[in-house]
A and B are shown apart, each in its own frame.
Chain A
Amino acid sequence: MKISLRHKLFHWFDERVGWGEIAKKHLHGYLLPENINAWYSMGSILLALFGLQVLTGVLLMIYYRPTTEDAFSSIRSIMTEVPYGWLIRSIHAAGANVMIFILFLHMLSTLFMGSYKKPRELNWVTGCVLFAFTLGLALSGYLLPWSQLSYWATTVATNTVTTIPRWGDTLLLWVRGSAQVSQATLGRFFALHVAVLPLLVILFILLHLFFVRSTGISTPPTLATQPRKIIPFYPDYLLEDLKMIYLALALVAFLVFFYPGFVFPEDSLIPADPFSTPEHIKPEWYFLANYQLLRLIPNKILGILVQVVAGLFIVLLPFIDRSPERHPLRRPAFTLLSILALLGYIGLIYAGLKE
């Protein structure tokens, strides 16, 4: 019998790398519970979207120039002159929004299905860190076009550190690199956006996946008997993951082709002018709730403190809520409080959008 070149190559590498065993362990041999649902594909969608962000980001870096003189004109040139530049940048901007939206859904499903509980505390903590890094990526990327929106949104966002007593001003200088948002700030944010944060995100994705594999994927909580683990990840569940990835990409495509104003509002079309403050500076939707809360609470320090405490509470939730019960209907108080908190959060975003 003649063995094809492809098989020969596969066996040559398999003898040295052992990837047959790896594939068996992590793909065909990796079994998932029979009642697994679409909520469990959120992680895969996020991984695909992160890949898309890296790819489009690298392509944008070819033409982007990170100086205050050239940044906006290079963005304009990407949008009008570079072949398919508008598409790549629009995918990058819309992809970031969809990624954060899916990240919210991923965390909410984990919260309501109680998947953060023992033994998956570290999965939750690394997930929270990834969430913070993603918001950091969004914030640092926001300044790079050097538009009016970039400039003033970053001025407002970086100003919040001044509420920290005693070290506020020093910290502001450290974040911006100068008293005002300037070339020093742009350089810092560029380095954070294209190198530091992506590397940290990759590191934490690997950690997150490591914890997911070592503890095993959580089973959807059920009122009936424990489900059997019978669905192989490859090829069976990968089809379901692909389906969800395609739906997320359809959402990205919708924003890119039919709703570009959502990712590029009016103030993002005007080059930054430090001497002209726009009338209505509003942060992106994912920072709107925090922004509204700061406006609602008259004391700035208190406003920041409330958010820090809420954030810490969310990160440390697995260590605070130690009951083994995971089904949302069997822990009604927690479910009700979570729904109320979620409604409050959505309400704050809505109020911010309406203003």
Chain B
Amino acid sequence: MRKISWLAIFCFSLFVLFTPGWAAEAQEEEVCVTCHEMFKGDMPNLYHPVELWRQSSHKVQGVTCTGCHGGNPKDEAESMSTPDFIGKPSASTIPFMCGKCHTDIREEYLSGVHSFTSGSRRPTCITCHNSHNIQPPILENIIEHQCVSCHKAEEITYFQSFILSVNQDAEKGNEELKMLHHHWVDISIYQKILNAWKNSTRVKLIHLSELDKVKSETEKISASLKEIHQKYEIILRNEALKKKTGKFTIAFLLLSAVALHFYYREVEKSRKR
């Protein structure tokens, strides 16, 4: 009996220990998600956002409904009555809704030509990143058929391929940097520029949405990439020369050793004679 009670305490401890994580998650979902899930059959437009959110990068990052829409996820009755709750945002409020977290991008957007476009043609964050199935900022998010209403198709392709080519050059530059690092070159300045490109500059440029601005902004990274490549080429040439010198040196030393070996044998023979 005593054994059983100890076992029960042990099981309960484990339960307590591992409960908070999923309990909190369930609570977060309970109010928004559980309610919206009830509309699955009758009102699919109210259920659909839940399904889309589950495939989004926000779900992966742990950003839940309240992160964007506000509200109180713990109280079913008052869940949509808090002052910060926004049910369906208007096109003009979307940049501020997303911009609560993505502050840099909000500034880029607001200073760019897209924010000044009027009416239904005005692209907002969700035009490229979707509304609930939020996807990470990759170049493929640019949806050509939505851009062609204002831009020429070839302009869009050129913009995409331009950023993509700088992107590819930056990836290549990163590989070249690794090689330079192994040859004692001080890469700290280049690394900072490339890291900034990877983490923020690239994303900012996409949101600038004007090719001329993008081109002038990419000049800095292009100049650095050119410098990296020049240094890489020099190292490559030196490496090839080093390998040749190494082969020659080792061959010379080994052949000298063999020659000395046979010479010593001859000396030995003559001594014995």
Residues of A participating in the B interface, judged by any CB pair closer than 8 Å? 75-76, 79-80, 86, 230-231, 235-236, 239-240, 242-244, 246-247, 249-250, 253-254, 256-258, 261, 269
Contacts and interface: CB of A to CB of B under 8 A. Distances in A.
B10 interface: no
Interface of B: 181-186, 242-243, 245-247, 249-250, 253-254, 256-257, 260-261, 263-264, 267-268, 271
A242 B260 CA distance: 8
Q: Is the interface of A mostly helix, strand, loop or mixed?
A: helix
A243 B246 contact: no
B160 to A, nearest CB: 37
Given A250-B253, A257-B250, 18 more contacts: A80-B183, A80-B184, A230-B271, A231-B268, A235-B267, A239-B263, A239-B267, A240-B264, A243-B264, A246-B257, A247-B253, A250-B257, A253-B249, A253-B250, A256-B246, A257-B245, A258-B246, A269-B184
Contacts of B184: 75-76, 79-80, 86, 269
Contacts, number: 62
Contacts of A80: 183-185
Contacts of B186: 76
Given A257-B243, A258-B243, A243 B261 contact: yes
Nearest to B268: A236
A78 to B, nearest CB: 9
A23 B247 CA distance: 38
A269 B181 contact: yes
Contacts of A253: 246, 249-250, 253
A256 B186 CA distance: 21
Contacts of B261: 243
A239 B260 contact: yes
B253 A257 contact: no
Nearest to A257: B246
B108 to A, nearest CB: 33
Contacts of A250: 250, 253-254, 257
B256 A236 contact: no
